Amino acid sequence: MAENIPEIAQVIKDAKAAFKAEFKQEAEIVVFAPGRVNLIGEHIDYNDGFVMPMALPLVTVIVGKKVSGEETTIITTNPDADPPKKATIEMPNKNALVKTIPPGPPKWSNYVKGVISNYVGETPPAFNALITSTVPTGGGLSSSAALEVATYTFLDALVGPSAVMPTDKALACQKAEHDYANVPCGIMDQFISVLGKKDHALLIDCRSMTSTLIPVADPNVVVLITNSNVKHELTGSEYSSRRTQCQQAALLLKKLSLRDAKLEDIEYLKSINASEETIKRARHAVTEIQRTQEAAEALKKKDFKKFGDLMVASHNSLRDDFEVSCEELDQLVKLAMEVKGVYGSRMTGGGFGGCTVTLVQKSAVNDVIAHVKKGYKGKPTFYICKPSDGAQIVAK
């Protein structure tokens, strides 16, 4: 059976109780931000292309309270976080010209420090906060963006009403990940965590920073996320190298980015004897951008067969041309596609572990889970998810 996703209300209740036990005071501010699953459009956001994620009912919750002085204390309940689970942060002086906080251990606290340092507007006051999450760490469902966006939303609740645009909030969180976690991520994860909407995926144009809501609300079709439970860290060299390889391909083509490249440009790369690696990376980017646009149109028409075919083609490209899949992910996709009622399946997220996403008829989802459990060599975790809302302030 699939995992029961905890109700957000229960997660909040538990977090408030833990906060009270730790700090001996009541939490006054409650916020959450979701993780995401990308339906199609992988490793394309940093190529200025189109991506199509949806926000998940898996969330990061932060509860807390403003305190006097300049020392912030944060606690995480995440069992995967590096110790210690409590960290103190000296908040920036409101009158200082430079309002950045230096990064430092524990690593998980750097996401919070980065968002505080990049917060747009009034310098936030000191606070006590407890962080808890139902987004699996290292699963490719963007636990990092959920933490960043939840932190930004918490700061919004502390400071008060803001005229800052949602896209600027997402960009501030992205910069935090670049500077404090050393991950040169694209904008997709933070964007969907801020702007997600119930019963919709979001087609994001990563060049113009505009988005289009795509309905995903057919009661007979579900999104099944399967966690391979193979861990990965995007701070490794592979993510950075893929981004660099795409930039090098764009330079050879004299393009601003691979968003501007076409299939005939792949032939040009071959003609100038570009490396096989460069050709493959460019081919994935060009074809994946095209697939994502086609997938959005298919979803609008409820053409789930076409959408599923595009998902499989996306996975094959990520496996063969972008080379970011792994044996476990390939096996999960193969097993899912063997079950009647499955439209499509693919790896999702950065790769080298994490999750697959499968579009399947509701009546067949239990068959898929049973078949994968029987055939997969590891111990998978399953989540049946519906598109959910983005970050919210629950109380302040």
pLDDT band at 1 (very low <50, low <70, confident <90, very high): low
Average pLDDT over residues 90-111: 88
Choosing from 45, 48, 189, 265, which is the catalytic residue? 189
Sign of CA dihedral 154, 155, 156, 157: positive
Residue-level pLDDT at 235:
45
Indicate the average pLDDT of the chain: 95
The residues spanned by each domain of the chain are 8-213+388-395
- Residues 265-306 pLDDT 10s: 999 999 999 999 999 999 999 999 999 999 999 999 999 999
Asked whether residue 392 carries a pLDDT value surpassing 50, the answer given is yes
Q: What is the CATH number of domain 8-213+388-395?
A: 3.30.230.10
What global pTM score does this model have?
0.94
Asked whether residue 117 carries a pLDDT value surpassing 80, the answer given is yes
Is 189 a residue of the active site?
A: yes
Asked whether residue 206 carries a pLDDT value surpassing 90, the answer given is yes
Residue-level pLDDT at 93:
83
Average pLDDT over residues 367-371: 98
- Residues 55-70 pLDDT 10s: 999 999 999 999 999 9
Residue-level pLDDT at 299:
97
pLDDT band at 95 (very low <50, low <70, confident <90, very high): confident
- Residues 153-201 pLDDT 10s: 999 999 998 889 999 999 999 999 999 998 888 899 999 999 999 999 9
- Residues 314-361 pLDDT 10s: 999 999 999 999 999 999 999 999 999 999 999 999 888 999 999 999
Asked whether residue 54 carries a pLDDT value surpassing 50, the answer given is yes
pLDDT band at 233 (very low <50, low <70, confident <90, very high): low
Q: Decide: residue 120, CB within 10 A, 0-12 exposed, 13-18 middle, 19+ buried.
A: middle
Residue-level pLDDT at 78:
96
Question: Cα(368)–Cα(167) distance, rounded to whole angstroms?
Answer: 37
